[in-house]
C-alpha cells in the first residue's frame, strides 16, 4: 500500500481485530512502530479493542501500561473503560471483588457500547450499574437503546425498570435521546 500513515495503520489494525486475526494485529502494530509511525490515542484504542476482542490479556496489559512511557500521553477514558475494563471483566478479573471500577467507568463502558451497538459489553456494564445505581434511569434507557439499535425489541421490552420509574418515563427518555417524533413525545403521559 502506498502512502501509509497513522490512519491507515490504525484502520488495518482495527479491521484485523474485528476479523479475529490476532497475529496480524500484533504484527501490524509492531511493524508500524518499526517503520517510524508513532501510534496515537485512536491507534491505541484500536489495538486495545482488538486485544479485548481476541482475548489477548497479557498483550493488552503490556500495551496499556506503556501508553504514558512509550507514547507520551495519559490514557483516556476510552482506553480504560471501552477496552481494558471490558477485557478484564470478560475474563473474570473482577470476580474477587477487588479493583472493581467505579460507576463512572462502567457508565463510560455502557456509553461506548451504546455508540458501537455492542450488546454483550453493554450487558456486562449495565449489570454492574444496576447494582451500583439502581435509581439511575439513564442506565435502563441506554440498555433499551442498545437493544433497539440491534432490532432486539423483545429484549428491550423485558428490561426491568428501576425502582421509582414508570415505563412511560423510560419510553420518553429513549425517544428524547434518539430524537424520535417530538409530537409523539408531547402525547406521552408521564408519571
Give pLDDT, residue 173: 47
Distance CA 75, CA 121 (A): 20
Q: Are 51 and 63 in contact (CB under 8 A)?
A: yes
Among the listed residues 77, 24, 80, the one whose alpha carbon sits nearest the alpha carbon of residue 63: 80
Nearest-angstrom CA–CA distance, 184 and 187: 5
Structure pTM?
0.51
**pLDDT confidence of residue 106:** 82
CATH number of 101-191: 1.25.40
Whole-number Å distance between alpha carbons of 188 and 133: 26
Mean pLDDT by 10 residues, the chain (191 residues): 88 86 90 94 86 79 88 78 60 56 79 80 86 86 89 80 50 47 41 33
How many Å apart are CA 174 and CA 70, to the nearest integer?
A: 42
Amino acid at each position: 500500500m502506498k502512502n501509509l500513515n497513522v490512519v491507515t495503520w490504525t484502520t488495518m489494525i482495527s479491521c484485523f481485530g474485528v476479523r479475529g486475526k490476532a497475529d496480524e494485529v500484533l504484527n501490524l502494530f509492531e511493524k508500524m512502530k518499526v517503520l517510524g509511525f508513532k501510534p496515537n490515542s485512536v491507534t491505541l484504542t484500536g489495538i486495545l479493542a482488538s486485544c479485548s476482542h481476541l482475548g489477548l490479556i497479557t498483550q493488552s496489559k503490556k500495551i496499556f501500561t506503556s501508553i504514558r512511557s512509550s507514547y507520551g500521553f495519559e490514557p483516556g477514558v476510552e482506553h480504560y473503560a471501552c477496552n481494558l475494563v471490558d477485557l478484564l471483566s470478560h475474563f473474570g478479573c473482577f470476580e474477587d471483588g477487588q479493583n472493581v471500577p467505579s460507576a463512572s467507568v462502567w457508565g463510560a463502558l455502557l456509553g461506548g457500547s451504546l455508540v458501537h451497538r455492542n450488546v454483550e459489553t453493554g450487558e456486562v456494564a449495565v449489570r454492574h450499574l444496576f447494582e451500583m445505581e439502581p435509581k439511575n434511569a439513564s442506565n435502563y434507557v441506554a440498555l433499551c437503546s442498545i437493544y433497539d439499535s440491534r432490532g432486539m425489541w423483545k429484549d428491550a421490552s423485558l428490561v426491568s425498570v428501576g425502582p421509582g420509574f414508570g415505563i412511560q418515563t423510560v419510553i420518553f427518555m429513549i425517544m428524547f435521546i434518539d430524537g424520535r417524533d417530538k409530537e409523539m413525545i408531547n402525547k406521552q403521559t408521564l408519571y
